[in-house]
């Protein structure tokens, strides 16, 4: 049994920011990451971090922009909490040495850009690779800190909570973790466990997320007895490069801003028939239009055409896209780019309070795996990294206010009654089936019939996977598939409960928004039973 003061699952911006704060306060931290420390969705973020830094901007403007984007479902207190701590979060990054792009003409000294939905310039960035720059800066400090113990190629299997041990007085006291390279499950014990495992984009066939985004934290928290919220709101980016060797490569919206046109395979434009703003319509409108045309015509993709622009213009304005497409045999100066919409961000997640505490004592959730109420029904651009930073600090303060307590002795992982899997191909087939029907039935446009079909298939997969999980030794793919199926179930259940269209959730059966906006909160059976008992004894 490995024992630490805190166990942090996930090594993105949220996890690293929290680990550094705890370590610098003298706490021993185990940082668990299933690939390398640098591998996370945070490092892929291109835009930047939104915060009120300019004298012409204000907290009230940023709050208003966030509430508008959230389509009436943002939690007002959480939104104000995050926005009011924005400048402090940026100053912390600057103090760590993050090399934000400078602009000496600015009173602040840093260049601020503006993105869709923002009324002012408030995005501080590092050129067009902000996430990578932040991650690189913090990773070097995480790796060199004596109090942070990094476990790469380790994947959390499940949380260890008191009620599962027959000790209901205990909260979350650790986790079982698979050492992927050694193929052995290790018991990690800690009085504090933090979920910073990112989103669930891999539940869909097409996603901009890294392979690590398999909903692990959300699924583990649900099994531990935590509520989840707003899981139906999945943000889709309209244009991801469609190519068998172009995993998760985005084609920036700026390309449409510079005159790029969306076309069908025969060259016909289709956006003017969907919205008067055509290719310059908002992200969700364009994504729905592409989805509609693909489903109607049975297409694998549509095409973004900028070939009428001068070649030197395209090379100078979009050098990374030009170079990557050329590697794949696509010359964007001469031919259109095959694109599809792709799952981009999970707006819902594990329900937490302003100190990032979940329903289970000792268990925290931060970053994309959490549901704070900030994003509502649609995330405002560049608010995600800000949320990571603000809640990492808030969680750290709460954790440090707790007196370190030695966790109890925990039972080792029991493999005595399982055997080696006889057909690993079953896992691969189930993984592929799940991602395809989630894309077809629970994607950008939904219907009651599609959701019912998806739920039926999910229940079949759940039974098959659980039988596999119980009888055979676990593997990396099995753990991720188990978590993905559970996360998919939560997404579908949430979508079925929302009888309206709002933000990122669009239903053909309920095309209008309701007069009253309410979040979708799902409660595990254990939580429901506890609430019913309290009501009966009140």
Tell me what pLDDT residue 532 has.
60
Distance CA 50, CA 59 (A): 11
Cα–Cα distances in Å, from 78 out to 227, 239, 333, 346, 391? 17, 31, 46, 17, 10
The torsion angles phi and psi of 123, rounded to 5 degrees, stand at -100, 110
Buried-state track 374-399, b at ≥16 Cβ within 10 A, e below 16: bbbbbbbbbbbbbbbbbbbbbbbebb
In this structure, are strands 184-189 and 172-179 parallel, antiparallel, or unpaired? antiparallel
Tell me what pLDDT residue 406 has.
86
The structural domains of the chain, with segments of one domain joined by +, span 239-342, 425-532
Three-state DSSP class for residue 162:
helix
Strand (E) or helix (H) holding 528: helix 525-537
In this structure, are strands 337-346 and 349-351 parallel, antiparallel, or unpaired? unpaired
Three-state DSSP class for residue 233:
coil
Tokens, residue 431 = 């993984």
Active site annotation includes 482: no
Tell me what pLDDT residue 376 has.
94
DSSP lists the bridge partners of residue 186 as 177
Tell me what pLDDT residue 361 has.
96
Three-state DSSP class for residue 512:
coil
Domain covering 425-532 in this structure, CATH number? 1.20.58.100
The torsion angles phi and psi of 160, rounded to 5 degrees, stand at -105, 110
Tell me what pLDDT residue 113 has.
78
Number of alpha carbons in the 13 Å side-chain half-sphere of residue 312: 0
Measure CA 327 to chain center. Answer: 29
Cα–Cα distances in Å, from 195 out to 16, 156, 171, 202? 12, 10, 14, 18
Three-state DSSP class for residue 85:
coil
Distance CA 306, CA 328 (A): 17
Which DSSP state fits 208? S
Three-state DSSP class for residue 488:
helix
Tell me what pLDDT residue 128 has.
65
Tell me what pLDDT residue 534 has.
63
Domain covering 239-342 in this structure, CATH number? 3.90.700.10
Question: Using CA of residue 211, residue 212, residue 213, residue 219, what is the dihedral sign?
Answer: positive
DSSP track, 178-204 = EETTTTEEEEEE-S-EEE-----GGGS
Distance CA 189, CA 172 (A): 9
Tell me what pLDDT residue 309 has.
94
Cβ burial of 108 (10 Å; 0-12, 13-18, 19+) is middle
Distance CA 125, CA 134 (A): 9
DSSP lists the bridge partners of residue 262 as 304
Cα–Cα distances in Å, from 224 out to 77, 102, 196, 340? 27, 45, 16, 36
Tokens, residue 424 = 């690993």
Tell me what pLDDT residue 533 has.
60
Tell me what pLDDT residue 250 has.
83
In this structure, are strands 123-124 and 148-151 parallel, antiparallel, or unpaired? unpaired
pTM equals 0.90
* Catalytic residue chosen out of the listed positions 283, 357, 457, 502: 283
Q: What is the mean pLDDT of each run of 10 residues along the chain (538 residues)?
A: 96 95 97 88 74 91 92 96 96 92 79 78 80 88 96 96 91 96 95 96 90 95 97 92 83 80 96 89 84 92 95 86 93 96 94 97 97 94 92 97 88 82 77 93 94 96 90 90 97 97 95 95 79 62
Q: Would you mind telling me the total number of residues written for the chain in this entry?
A: 538
């Amino acid at each position: 049994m490995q024992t630490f003061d805190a166990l942090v699952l996930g090594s993105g911006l949220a996890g690293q920011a929290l680990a550094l704060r705890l370590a610098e306060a003298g706490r021993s931290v185990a940082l668990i990451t299933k690939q390398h420390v640098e591998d996370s969705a945070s490092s892929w973020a291109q835009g930047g971090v939104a915060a009120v830094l300019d004298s012409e901007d204000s907290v009230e403007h940023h709050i208003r922009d966030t509430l508008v984007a959230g389509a009436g479902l943002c939690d007002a207190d959480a939104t104000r909490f995050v926005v009011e701590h924005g400048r402090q979060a940026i100053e912390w990054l600057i103090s760590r040495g993050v090399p934000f792009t400078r602009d000496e003409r600015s009173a602040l000294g840093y260049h601020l850009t503006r993105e869709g939905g923002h009324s002012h310039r408030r995005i501080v960035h590092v050129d067009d690779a902000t996430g990578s720059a932040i991650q690189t800066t913090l990773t070097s400090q995480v790796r060199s800190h004596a109090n942070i113990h990094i476990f790469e190629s380790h994947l959390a299997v499940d949380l260890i909570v008191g009620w599962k041990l027959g000790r209901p007085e205990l909260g979350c006291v650790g986790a079982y973790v698979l050492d992927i390279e050694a193929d052995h499950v290790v018991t990690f014990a800690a009085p504090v466990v933090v979920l910073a495992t990112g989103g669930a984009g891999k539940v869909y066939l097409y996603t901009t997320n890294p392979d690590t985004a398999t909903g692990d934290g959300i699924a583990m928290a649900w099994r531990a007895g935590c509520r989840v919220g707003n899981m139906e709101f999945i943000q889709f980016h309209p244009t991801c490069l469609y190519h068998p060797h172009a995993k998760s490569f985005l084609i920036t919206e700026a390309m449409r801003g510079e005159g790029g046109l969306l076309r069908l395979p025969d060259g016909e434009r289709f956006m003017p028939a969907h919205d008067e703003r055509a290719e310059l319509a908002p992200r969700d409108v364009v994504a729905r239009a592409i989805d509609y045309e693909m489903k109607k015509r049975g297409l694998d993709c549509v095409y973004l055409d900028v070939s009428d622009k001068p070649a030197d213009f395209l090379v100078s304005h979009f050098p990374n896209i030009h170079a990557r497409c050329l590697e794949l045999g696509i010359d964007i100066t001469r031919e259109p780019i095959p694109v599809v919409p792709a799952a981009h961000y999970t707006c819902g997640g594990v329900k937490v309070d302003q100190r990032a505490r979940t329903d289970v004592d000792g268990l925290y959730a931060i970053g994309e795996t959490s549901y704070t109420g900030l994003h509502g029904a649609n995330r405002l651009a560049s608010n995600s990294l800000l949320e990571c930073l603000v809640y990492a600090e808030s969680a750290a303060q709460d954790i440090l206010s707790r007196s370190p307590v030695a966790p109890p002795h925990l039972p080792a992982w029991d493999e005595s009654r399982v055997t080696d899997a006889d057909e690993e191909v079953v896992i691969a087939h189930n993984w592929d089936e799940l991602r395809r029907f989630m894309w077809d039935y629970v994607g950008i446009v939904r219907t009651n019939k599609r959701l019912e079909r998806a739920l039926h298939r999910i229940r079949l997969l759940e039974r098959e996977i659980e039988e596999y999980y119980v009888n055979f030794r676990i593997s990396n793919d099995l753990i991720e598939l188990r978590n993905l199926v559970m996360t998919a179930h939560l997404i579908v259940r949430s979508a079925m409960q929302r009888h309206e269209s709002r933000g990122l959730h669009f239903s053909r059966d309920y095309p209008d928004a309701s007069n009253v906006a309410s979040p979708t909160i799902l409660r595990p059976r254990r939580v429901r039973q506890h609430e019913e008992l309290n009501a009966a004894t009140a």
